[in-house]
């Protein structure tokens, strides 16, 4: 990227010229790559609130306007008109597929849905009440042992095979983790079903009963997958990139992303949000929880509220709010008490000065949990479903990074504020 203008940094009586780079959308960025070598200075930015870690062509988030684009397309259009598998193609290869390209891609994902049979034994090593996220993190890491022939990151073909394997097998792995955690037998994938319908069947079918996926429900799940598919350089994606920058194999990198996603400030928030809505229980208890969220001496936060980037509204939350209404009516549960609490909580919070001042609005996790729970997933499955949806985003970002000639191992610097000049002998024998 060429720079058309410079920023001047003045430190004492010295001036440093720093190139200003202009991306295709979003604020310009000051290129500080030579700051240390030319000025012997570091930039200090904990939480990377003002730092772009890479150039990317995949996803763009405009937090002020509340826009999210995948490869230039608004997520609202994709959620309404596309399918998750088509969105996977778009994120991975940069353009929407032709009908033949889509068919070929879908076919290559579909024929890789089964996992190595020995992986079943690996599952059996976990405690029977293990959280599915713990299992998925471990099993994803272990894929490098089962699929060693696609771990050479310098080979584009191996990178491609690893990518397809992860996208294809993750629904199977997530469903197996779920089945294992509830003591039910694993269900093999059924390749004639859509990506979402196949996942639902692997989760909910039991050998003694027939199971039919309701198309409206699998479509709602597919929409959740689309809305979670990528979100530029969030914590888990940055984790994947950082892990990948050392040349680690793709399965290890995605396992690192899954581990990061589990945190309650990130993907774990949907589980925490539904727990909170249940704890609130009825609309008349909302003021009590709002009061707690505003109290600086209480570490309670309204889960599903606030976002590092969206300071207006999260477009994904808007779509999911509509979806929640549709799904609960479809399931004959339009008066669902938790949905009532959620709607009322949103209404009160967005009108409250504390939340307005801090620009805290519902995020994607606020309504996704209600939908997943209505479909029949327990809260422990919310973050695994997020991981399953985000895998394509992580892979697209990882592939972009590996193919970037500017790739360098990620190695942030620090401001050391600890002791210096200590002497072992003097400390031991004062």
Choose among 226, 186, 191: nearest CA to 316. Answer: 226
CB of 269 to ligand ACO, least distance (A): 3
318 binds ligand ACO (CB under 6 A): no
The structure tokens 């009586």 sit at 13
CB of 295 to ligand ACO, least distance (A): 9
Torsion of CA 201, 90, 71, 231, to 10 degrees: 30
CA distance 385 to 276: 19
Smaller CB distance to ligand ACO: residue 92 or 276?
276
Smaller CB distance to ligand ACO: residue 19 or 26?
26
CB of 70 to ligand ACO, least distance (A): 15
Give residue number: closest CB to ligand ACO. Answer: 306
Smaller CB distance to ligand ACO: residue 199 or 289?
289
Q: Which stretch binds ligand ACO (CB under 6 A): 150-158, 173-181, 189-197, 355-363?
A: 355-363
CA distance 365 to 272: 9
Per-residue binder mask for ligand ACO (CB under 6 A), 272-311, x = binder: ---------------------x-------xxxxxxxx---
Number of Cβ atoms within 10 Å of the Cβ of 340 = 14
CB of 218 to ligand ACO, least distance (A): 22
Q: Which stretch binds ligand ACO (CB under 6 A): 213-221, 321-329, 363-371, 375-383?
A: 363-371
Choose among 52, 45, 172: nearest CA to 112. Answer: 172
363 binds ligand ACO (CB under 6 A): yes
Smaller CB distance to ligand ACO: residue 249 or 270?
270
Smaller CB distance to ligand ACO: residue 213 or 227?
227
CB of 364 to ligand ACO, least distance (A): 5
Element holding 102 (H helix, E strand)? helix 99-110
Residue from 222, 346, 365, 400 in contact with ligand ACO (CB under 6 A): 365
User: Is position 131 annotated as part of the catalytic site?
Assistant: no
Question: What are the angstrom distances between the C-alpha of 217 and each of 13, 172, 178, 386?
Answer: 65, 19, 19, 17
Q: Which stretch binds ligand ACO (CB under 6 A): 52-60, 65-73, 152-160, 357-365?
A: 357-365
Q: Which stretch binds ligand ACO (CB under 6 A): 156-164, 170-178, 260-268, 371-379?
A: 260-268
CB of 312 to ligand ACO, least distance (A): 14
With contact defined as beta carbons under 8 Å apart, do 140 and 255 qualify?
A: yes
Helix axes 156-181, 132-146, angle to 10 degrees: 140
Residue from 32, 176, 364, 381 in contact with ligand ACO (CB under 6 A): 364
Smaller CB distance to ligand ACO: residue 139 or 290?
290
Smaller CB distance to ligand ACO: residue 293 or 374?
293
CA distance 401 to 408: 9
Count of residues near ligand ACO by CB under 6 A: 18
Number of Cβ atoms within 10 Å of the Cβ of 119 = 21
Please return the burial class of 174, using the count of CB atoms within 10 Å of its CB with bins 0-12, 13-18 and 19+. buried
CA distance 316 to 368: 9
Instruction: Indicate if the alpha-carbon torsion angle 68, 343, 387, 374 is positive or negative.
Output: negative
User: Is position 365 annotated as part of the catalytic site?
Assistant: yes
Direct distance between the N- and C-terminal alpha carbons of the chain, in angstroms, rounded to an integer:
58
With contact defined as beta carbons under 8 Å apart, do 370 and 324 qualify?
A: yes
CA distance 144 to 148: 5
Q: Which of 307, 314, 325, 352 is catalytic?
A: 307
CB of 425 to ligand ACO, least distance (A): 44
189 binds ligand ACO (CB under 6 A): no
Residue from 187, 203, 259, 360 in contact with ligand ACO (CB under 6 A): 360
Smaller CB distance to ligand ACO: residue 84 or 180?
84
Smaller CB distance to ligand ACO: residue 179 or 228?
228
CA distance 6 to 31: 9
CB of 168 to ligand ACO, least distance (A): 24
Q: Which of 222, 230, 314, 365 is catalytic?
A: 365
Question: What are the angstrom distances between the C-alpha of 243 and each of 305, 330, 332, 394?
Answer: 29, 43, 45, 11
CA distance 430 to 419: 17
CB of 311 to ligand ACO, least distance (A): 9
Please identify every residue annotated as catalytic. Answer: 307, 365
Residues that bind ligand ACO (CB under 6 A): 265-267, 269, 293, 301-308, 358, 360, 363-365
């Amino acid at each position: 990227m060429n720079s058309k203008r410079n920023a001047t940094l003045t430190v004492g009586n010295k001036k440093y010229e720093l190139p200003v780079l202009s991306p295709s959308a979003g604020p310009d960025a000051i290129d500080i790559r030579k700051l240390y070598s030319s000025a012997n200075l570091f930039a200090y930015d904990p939480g990377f609130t003002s730092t772009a870690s890479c150039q990317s062509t995949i996803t763009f988030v405009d937090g002020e306007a509340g826009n999210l684009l995948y490869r230039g397309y608004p997520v609202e259009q994709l959620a309404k008109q596309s399918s998750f598998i088509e969105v996977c193609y778009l994120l991975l290869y940069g353009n929407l597929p032709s009908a033949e390209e889509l068919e070929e891609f879908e076919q290559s994902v579909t024929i890789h849905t089964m996992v190595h049979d020995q992986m079943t034994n690996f599952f059996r090593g976990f405690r029977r009440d293990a959280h599915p996220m713990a299992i998925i993190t471990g099993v994803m890491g272990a894929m490098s042992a089962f699929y060693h022939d696609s771990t050479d990151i310098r080979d584009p073909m191996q990178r491609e095979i690893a990518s397809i394997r992860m996208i294809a097998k993750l629904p199977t792995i997530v469903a197996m983790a779920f089945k294992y955690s509830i003591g039910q037998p694993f269900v093999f994938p059924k390749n004639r079903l859509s990506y979402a319908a196949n996942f639902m069947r692997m989760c909910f079918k039991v050998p003694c009963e027939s199971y039919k996926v309701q198309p409206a429900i699998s479509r709602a799940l597919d929409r959740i997958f689309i809305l979670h598919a990528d979100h530029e350089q969030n914590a888990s994606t940055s984790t994947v990139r950082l892990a990948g920058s050392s040349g680690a194999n793709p399965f290890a990198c995605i396992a690192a992303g899954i581990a990061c996603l589990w945190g309650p400030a990130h993907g774990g928030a949907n589980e925490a949000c539904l727990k909170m809505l249940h704890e609130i229980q009825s609309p008349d208890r909302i003021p009590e929880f709002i009061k707690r969220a505003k109290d600086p001496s209480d570490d309670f936060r309204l889960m599903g509220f606030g976002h590092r980037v969206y300071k207006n509204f999260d477009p994904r939350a808007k779509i999911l709010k509509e979806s929640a209404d549709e799904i609960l009516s479809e399931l004959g549960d339009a008066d669902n008490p938790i949905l009532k609490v959620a709607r009322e909580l949103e209404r009160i919070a967005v009108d409250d000065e504390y939340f307005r001042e801090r620009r805290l609005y519902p995020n994607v996790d606020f309504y996704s949990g209600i939908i997943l729970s209505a479909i029949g997933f327990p809260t422990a499955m919310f973050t695994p479903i997020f991981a399953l949806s985000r895998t394509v985003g992580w892979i697209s970002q990882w592939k972009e990074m590996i193919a970037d000639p500017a790739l360098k191992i990620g190695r942030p610097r620090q401001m050391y504020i600890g002791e210096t000049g200590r002497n072992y002998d003097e400390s031991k024998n004062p």
